[in-house]
Structures are given as structure tokens and as C-alpha cells.
Amino acid sequence: MRAFEAMNPAAVTVTLLLTACITIFCLEPVLLGISLACAIAYYLMRNGCRHAAFHIGALGMPLLFALLNPLWNQHGETVLFIINQRAITQEALFYGGVTGLRLAAVFYWFRNFSDLMTSEKLFYLFRGFSPKLALIFTMAVRNLSLFRAQAKKIQTAQRALGLYREGHLIDDLRGGMRVFSILLTWALENGITAANSMSARGYGSGKRSSFTYFRWHNGDIVLLLMSLILAAFVIDAAFRGILTWQFYPQRIPPAVTLPYLAALAAYTALAMLPVIYEGKEVLTWHCLRRSI
């Protein structure tokens, strides 16, 4: 068992996407709460207590949506109070809060996903789908740092020529445009040279193979199967209407039965997978250090 991020990217993607998709599809407050809690737990495990602004923004969502929804939405039968001849209902307030909860949970899952997926892993995933697109993608990523470095060089050279005054707004703007123009010329020409040398080495003349770090181990297949089975169980329950809430005109939660609890348990297990893998890694590390 390896850390979650060391697993095969395809298995990781399937697990996270299934978790996030169920969150998107299923408007079930308890399930959304579980999803949000697991996503936050995993996020905190990886990042510690940094990025306070993101936490405040994401966790403010349910509150914001709960306050906004009644302004547009007048369904529901429990009127709390009336503003400007508009009824603010308890049901609309609740529904807004639930959609906000969904958005917050999805935010966290996507944030975790983009933290985990380095561009190299994304390349691995794209590769099977489209070699051409993967190539354009990696070259663009490489160009980013290349162009930044080149822009710095051009700027230094322009400064050395003594063309601009420092801290002068118009000169700064003109200088910026000039650097961009030079960079554009250089980038286009550099690109053509790269393309020429690629075709000189036979790019596009036959089938290509490519190197990758990632392989399928038994552990990856276990992870993939686990997440598929758990997600199938939850999705099946959702389609049978076990997890369906009625929001308007009256709030009616689904009956708390064994299948309902089982579906929630399955979802909890699915959403906990990243935390479990990560936690096991932390525990091993802790034990190893203790034994020194």
C-alpha cells in the first residue's frame, strides 16, 4: 500500500471523479456533509493549516447560498418573514444551504484533484486519449517557463540599452509592449525551428511509443475496483430513490432504513479512501521514526 498520490494516476482520477460526481449529482445533505468532511480532512492532511482564504471562501458558500436562494425562490410553505412583499421561506433557506454545501464540497474535491495531478500525471492520462493533444499540452507547459526566462532576458537587455526610465508609467507600458513584441517574434521563430528539427528526426512518420513512470500494480487495481464497487452501490441506491429528498413545498427527508444507511456507509468508505491511504502512510512514518 503506497500513499494515495503515488498510486497510478488513472486509479486516483477514477476514485476522485466518482467521489466528486456523486457529490454533484446527489442533493442529499447528509451525504454532502460526509463528502465535505472527507474532502477537508484530506486537504488538511496534505496542506496543513495554510490557505485560510480558500477555507473561508469555500466554507462561506453554504451560508451565502442559504441567504441568496430565498430572494429568487418562493416555493415552500413555512414562511419565516416577509421582506418587500416577498415571502422568505424556511424551505428555500434550507435548499440554498444544501446547494451551497454541494458547491463547497465540489470545490474541495477539485482543489485536492488539481493538487494531486501534476502536469506529468495529466500527460499520462491524456496520452491514451490523444497523443497529439498530449504533445501540445506538454510543450505548452514547457513553454511557460521558457518564455518567462526569455522575457526576463529581453527585459534586461532593453534596460541595458537605456531605453526606459524606471517607475514611469507610460515608459513602463511601452517597455512592456516592446518586450512582448520581441518575445512573440522569438517564440514563433523558436517554435518553427523546433518543429523543423522534430520533422527532421522523423516525427509523424510512424507510430510513436512514449515513456512513462506509471505502471499498474496490484494495489492500483485493488483501489480501482474498490472505488468502482462502492460508487456503483451508491449510484444504484440513488437511482432507486433511496437517497432522494423532497425540498418543496415541504421538506421530507428519505426514510431511515437499512439500505439508506448502507448507501451512506458505502459513500463514507469511498470518500475516506484518500484519507485512509494517506493516514496509513503517516502512521508508518511515525512508527519508523519512533523505532530509531
Chosen residue from 79, 86, 120, 148 binding another protein by CB under 8 A: 148
- C-alpha 123/C-alpha 125 separation (Å) is 5
Burial class (CB in 10 A: 0-12, 13-18, 19+), 19: buried
3-state helix, strand, coil in the chain (%, to 5): 75, 5, 20
Asked if 214 interacts with another protein (CB under 8 A), we say no
- C-alpha 146/C-alpha 141 separation (Å) is 9
Chosen residue from 245, 260, 269, 280 binding another protein by CB under 8 A: 245
Please state, as a whole number, how many other Cβ atoms lie within 10 Å of the Cβ of residue 62: 23
Smallest distance, Å, CB 142 to another protein?
Answer: 8
Asked if 47 interacts with another protein (CB under 8 A), we say no
Q: Look up residue 4 and give its DSSP letter.
A: G
Smallest distance, Å, CB 241 to another protein?
Answer: 7
Q: Look up residue 5 and give its DSSP letter.
A: G
**C-beta closer to another protein: residue 230 or 238:** 238
Chosen residue from 239, 252, 284, 285 binding another protein by CB under 8 A: 239
CA 145 to chain centre: 23
Report yes or no: 263 and 234 within 8 Å, Cβ to Cβ: yes
Alpha carbon separation from 83 to 65, 71, 249 (Å, rounded): 18, 9, 20
- C-alpha 93/C-alpha 68 separation (Å) is 8
Asked if 185 interacts with another protein (CB under 8 A), we say yes
Asked if 114 interacts with another protein (CB under 8 A), we say yes
C-alpha cell at 257: 432504513
Which of the ranges 34-42, 124-132, 249-257, 272-280 carries the binding residues for another protein, by CB under 8 A?
A: 124-132
Which of the ranges 82-90, 141-149, 255-263, 279-287 carries the binding residues for another protein, by CB under 8 A?
A: 141-149
Smallest distance, Å, CB 218 to another protein?
Answer: 26
Chosen residue from 132, 152, 159, 174 binding another protein by CB under 8 A: 132
Asked if 106 interacts with another protein (CB under 8 A), we say yes
Burial class (CB in 10 A: 0-12, 13-18, 19+), 32: buried
Asked if 181 interacts with another protein (CB under 8 A), we say yes
Chosen residue from 42, 43, 107, 277 binding another protein by CB under 8 A: 107
Smallest distance, Å, CB 96 to another protein?
Answer: 9
Report yes or no: 277 and 16 within 8 Å, Cβ to Cβ: no
Chosen residue from 44, 78, 125, 131 binding another protein by CB under 8 A: 131
Alpha carbon separation from 215 to 71, 124, 212 (Å, rounded): 52, 10, 8
Contacting residues toward another protein, per CB under 8 A? 21, 24-25, 27, 65, 68-69, 72-73, 95, 99, 103, 106-107, 110-111, 113-114, 119, 128-133, 135-137, 139-141, 143-144, 146-148, 151, 177, 181, 183-185, 187-192, 194-196, 198-199, 203-204, 238-239, 241, 244-247
